[in-house]
Amino acid sequence: MERLFNFLYEYRAFFTFLLLEFLCAWLLIVNNQYQNTKYFNTSNSVVASINSTEEAIRSYFSLRDVNAVLSKENSTLRNQLEQRNQMLYSYKLNQTDSTLRKQYVYVNSKVVNNTTKYYKNYITIDRGADSGIEPGMAVISEAGVVGKVKTVSEHYAVVISLLNIDEQVSCVLKRTGHFGTVQWEGTSSSLTSLKYIPRHVRPMVGDSIVTSEYNAIFPPGIFIGKIKEFNLRSEAPFYEIKVELGQDFGKLSFVEVVKNQLKKEKEALERSTFGESR
């Protein structure tokens, strides 16, 4: 404390000069309209700039919460749309009210772990058995197909990523209606292969690939990707087609688990009709 007093006493002339300068500046601003206006305009601009920067920083750090809210809203809208489509379809067929139930229910979830560098990649999400998640359920995002639930615990689930050489998804070439299968070959995380498109078909670069109606897991029409390149060998019965995935798996944050409420009924009927060996 003694050093502080000594410092102030030693530089008392300088501090007195600063005090008088501030006092003069204040009197000049207060008693002159032009200087007063310039001062407050400048100060308002500085304050506005600081507030804008502060708000931008605050918005950046709140993006995670915003994304979570949007993901939840997206699931709600999907459920409402599915219910509306089922009602319209039932109305056209003049069906009874008992068949108006929704076939698909969407549960939003956050990705807590994700790999893209292996041949068999997996994704962990923060929804499990307590949310009604079961093995075999489809997982999608707003950008397209993500994968399929493999195992489930009480609060978490592990998903087989579409970037897995063992995962296959039944799909359709949207423009022509021809069915095929999408299967990753373990190379680029942004490309997958479309198989079993016969040589009489005429695919085009940019054609959309979506999930087919024969898929027991994914709802039909879910986007997978677009054709980037294709090749047809002279003796080959099928095209070699590369598809650019709609979902960037390196930026995967939120997904939706799809519950097909009629899946078990369909499978039970097929087993009873054709037997287990089919």
Query: What CA–CA distances, in Å, run from 208 to 60, 186, 205, 223?
Result: 34, 21, 9, 7
Residues 6+ apart with CB under 8 A from 83: 102
Task: Kindly report, residue by residue over 232-247, the tens digit of the pLDDT.
Answer: 999 999 999 999 999 9
Collect contacts of 66-72 with beta carbons under 8 A, ≥24 apart. 67/253, 67/254, 68/110, 68/254, 70/254, 71/108, 71/109, 71/110, 71/254, 71/256, 72/108
Which one has a higher pLDDT value, 88 or 66?
Answer: 66
pLDDT at 98: 40
Domain with CATH 2.40.10.340 in the chain: 64-260
Question: Across 36-40, 56-60, 73-77, 101-105, which has the greatest mean pLDDT?
Answer: 101-105
Residues 6+ apart with CB under 8 A from 246: 143, 144, 145, 223, 224, 225, 226
Superfamily of domain 64-260: Rod shape-determining protein MreC, domain 1 (2.40.10.340)
Which residue from 103, 136, 105 is spatially nearest to 217, judged by alpha carbons?
Answer: 136
Residues 6+ apart with CB under 8 A from 226: 206, 207, 208, 209, 243, 244, 246
Query: What is the spatial distance between Cα 228 and Cα 261, in angstroms, rounded to a whole number?
Result: 35
Question: Quick one: how far is CA 50 from the chain centroid?
Answer: 33
* Segment (H or E) for 105: strand 104-114
Task: Kindly report, residue by residue over 186-215, the tens digit of the pLDDT.
Answer: 999 999 999 999 999 999 999 999 999 887
Which one has a higher pLDDT value, 127 or 35?
Answer: 127
Residue 152 contacts residue 160 (beta carbons within 8 Å): no
Give percent above pLDDT 90 in the chain: 50
